[in-house]
Amino acid sequence: MQNDDVVVIGAGPGGYVAAIRCAQLGMKTACVDAWVSPGGKPALGGTCLNVGCIPSKALLDSSHHFEHINHHAADHGIAVTGATMDVGKMVARKNKIVATLTQGIAGLFRKNGIDWLQGRARLLGEMRVEIEPTAKQPAQKTVVAARHIIIATGSVPATIPPARVDQTHIVDSTGALDFQQVPGRLGVIGAGVIGLELGSVWRRLGSEVVIFEALPDFLPGADHQIAREALKVFGKQGLDIRLNAKVKTASVAGDAVTVEVGVDSANERETFDRLIVAVGRRPNTAGIGAQEAGIELDERGFVVVDADCRTRVDGVYAVGDAVRGPMLAHKASEEGIAVAELIAGQKPHVALDRIPWVIYTWPEIAWIGATEQALKAAGREYRAGSFPFMASGRARAMGETDGFVKVLGDARTDAILGVHAFGPNTSELIAEAVLAMEFDGSTEDIARTVHAHPTLAEALHEAALGVDGRTLHI
Ligand code: FAD
Ligand code: NAD
């Protein structure tokens, strides 16, 4: 029986990063993964690289170029007529990016001496893991033993009874990355991160997109002022976002999907060419042998862990989407690194309240820390400063003037409590706020930091100045 210092189960951004860090720290490391690409080959990278972050951003970038050429190039004096989109080529480009990156991880595994075990793992207890091969050869199950086990089995799309996913007419996020032509009418259930990102992709390419959201509020987890502004801008772009709209049935007849939706107290029927179900994700922990191994799962299937990702069983840890906290790739990776370092005797820490969020619509939504409504609800005294991109020289030069940045600081200590941004490239801009918060910075620290001119980051600078009423350009 193979014996390792560490066996990692799952090679998404939680698991593969944990495996690399364990190997860097001198541990004999194996990583088991069950992912098989549509071509039938095992692939590393998990949801993020195969059907998540990377492919969705590839399509967002392609569709952004298309929209820019069709609708904004003329503003710059560039005349383009008859631009067309070859969807097959766009999807093939996306697939190539995915293949390059997943093969890159296989290269990193080789470089770091990590043993890639291809198959589905099940915990047997007593620090043993059974592996059922995903490839046809070898056919037998094998068992490996380890001194430490890291569960990083990730998550899968959540489903709802009214809309059964067939991956042809009714698809989940994976199917929505592979449409071979632009749907004429596209329905989306869920105005969350996936609904907005993938809805944006297909709208830019010409779909008429309707998004049904069960809740009365749009993006309730984001700062309300940002969410309100974003809803307005997305509406102008043509995303038809219907709140308080709960899908009751979805049925396929011929090549069409008919959806019955309860909007407020009335029922509406709509017909689409395709329907995306994007109602959240659930932890992928069924069948991993948690019970046999004495690992506790909560009522929703998340592995129960402490602040350092330890499970109830000594030597067994869990990270990423399979445990509490935001279901984000960078959160999964940071936990993977921290667990590896914990095993090596170090004292790492992941601050779950300092994880940035980005929604890759255009403009992008990005934030870190507390929202204004949460501070109000907690009775916390704070000061706010904000700055619109309309008044930014760089944003004007780019022709990207929608949105604003808001900085929230503690009224007494001036500590940064939250930064919220809606605007061009805010996915990059937010990194400065994350760093400032990581260093326990104050809004005055950002205000005193020299920002290159002209940059979009000056909007963050101005918003920080605004906390103390010193904004210069409005
Ligand atoms: P996963 O990436 O889900 O990986 C888990 C791996 O474990 C998989 O390879 C799976 O096959 C394997 N596995 C499961 N069970 C077993 C088993 N029993 N034996 C062996 N292997 C097993 N997050 C962001 O931060 N930014 C984004 O832009 C972003 N975009 C996204 C877009 C989409 C369309 C989707 C669906 C998700 C997106 N996410 C994004 C979320 C992100 O993909 C996840 O948070 C991240 O992948 C979680 O990493 P993980 O390592 O915990 O799990
Ligand atoms: P989500 O939780 O962001 O949004 C799901 C939405 O569906 C919610 O607004 C919910 O109220 C709504 N909903 C649920 N049931 C419904 C129903 N029956 N009818 C209508 N609406 C309903 O989930 P998601 O968009 O599926 O994404 C899953 C997770 O993947 C995200 O939470 C995030 O963690 C991760 N992700 C991150 C990124 C990113 O970081 N940019 C991108 C994509 C996915």
Nearest ligand, CA 196 = 2
**Which residues does ligand 1 sit against, CB inside 6 Å?**
9-15, 32-35, 46-48, 52-53, 56, 120-121, 152-155, 173, 194, 284, 288, 320-322, 327-330, 332, 360
> What is the average pLDDT value for the chain, to the nearest integer?
97
Domain contains 342: yes
Ligand 2 site-directed mutation target among 279, 365, 427, most atoms within 8 Å of CB? 279
Task: Give the tens place of pLDDT for each residue, 297-325.
Answer: 999 999 999 999 999 999 999 999 999 99
279, 304, 337 — which closes off a domain?
Answer: 279
CATH code where residue 27 lies: 3.50.50.60
- With a CB cutoff of 8 Å and minimum separation 6, the contacts of 125 are 289, 292, 293, 294
Task: Give the tens place of pLDDT for each residue, 215-243.
Answer: 999 999 999 999 999 999 999 999 999 99
Q: Mean per-residue pLDDT for 421-448?
A: 98
The separation between the first and the last C-alpha atoms of the chain, rounded to the nearest angstrom, is 69
> Do 290 and 257 fall into the same domain?
no
> Do 326 and 450 fall into the same domain?
no
CATH code where residue 443 lies: 3.30.390.30
Nearest ligand, CA 117 = 1
Domain containing residue 26: 2-157+282-353
Task: Give the tens place of pLDDT for each residue, 392-403.
Answer: 999 999 999 999
Domain contains 164: no
Domain contains 275: yes
Domain contains 305: yes
- Most distant pair of Cα atoms in the chain: their distance: 70
Q: Are 211 and 240 in contact (CB under 8 A)?
A: yes
- State whether residue 27 is helix, strand or coil: coil
> Do 89 and 38 fall into the same domain?
yes
> Do 42 and 130 fall into the same domain?
yes
> Do 368 and 347 fall into the same domain?
no
Domain contains 472: no
Task: Give the tens place of pLDDT for each residue, 184-214.
Answer: 999 999 999 999 999 999 999 999 999 999 9
> Is 453 part of the annotated catalytic residue set?
yes
pLDDT-derived band at 263 (thresholds 50, 70, 90) equals confident
Q: Of all atoms in ligand 2, which is nearest to the CA of residue 158?
A: 26
Cα–Cα dist 149/128, whole Å: 9
The catalytic residue among 64, 453, 461, 473 is 453
> Do 43 and 185 fall into the same domain?
no
228, 245, 279 — which closes off a domain?
Answer: 279
Domain contains 379: yes
> Do 68 and 81 fall into the same domain?
yes
Q: Mean per-residue pLDDT for 35-53?
A: 96
The bridge status of strand 404-410 relative to strand 382-388 is antiparallel
Task: Provide, rounded to the nearest whole percent, the portion of the chain with pLDDT above 70.
Answer: 99
> Do 122 and 213 fall into the same domain?
no
Give the containing element (helix H, strand E) for 194.
helix 193-204
How many domains does one find in the chain?
3
- With a CB cutoff of 8 Å and minimum separation 6, the contacts of 318 are 150, 151, 152, 295, 303, 305, 309, 311
Domain contains 259: yes
- Nearest C-alpha neighbor of 306 from the set 289, 294, 318: 318
